[in-house]
Amino acid sequence: MFKIYGDYGYTTETLLEEFDTRSEALRWADRYVESGDFGGYSTIEVARFAEDGEYIVVMVYRAEDYEEDFYEGDDDFALIDEF
């Protein structure tokens, strides 16, 4: 089971979604953060728990990494896809 958390390990920790497969979880998380809106969380993590309870991070998204691309005027950013 793959879980998606907002701010795992912090007081604002929230389980956002759960999926049976890694690909479903990553697809959901990619869509969740693609606009740069993290829903007020600093990090979004796709993770799973090992049988011994160890928390294993598959992917982490940090809001600070997206702020530069979306809010500082990325010249390559386009609102319309041209296909």
d(CA 45, CA 60): 4
Q: Measured between alpha carbons, how far is 56 from 71 in angstroms, rounded to an integer?
A: 31
Please tell me the predicted confidence (pLDDT) of residue 67: 65
pTM (2 d.p.): 0.75
Kindly tell me if the per-residue pLDDT of 4 is higher than 60: yes
Q: How far is CA 77 from CA 27, 33, 51, 73, in A?
A: 21, 15, 42, 8
Helix (H, G, I), strand (E, B) or coil at 69: helix
Higher-pLDDT residue of 72 and 2 is: 2
Q: Residue 14: how many CB atoms within 10 A of its CB? A: 14
pLDDT of residue 80: 47
Where are the chain's structural domains?
2-71
Residue 34's pLDDT is what? 87
Give tens-digit pLDDT for 34-72. 888 898 999 999 999 999 999 999 999 998 887 655 445
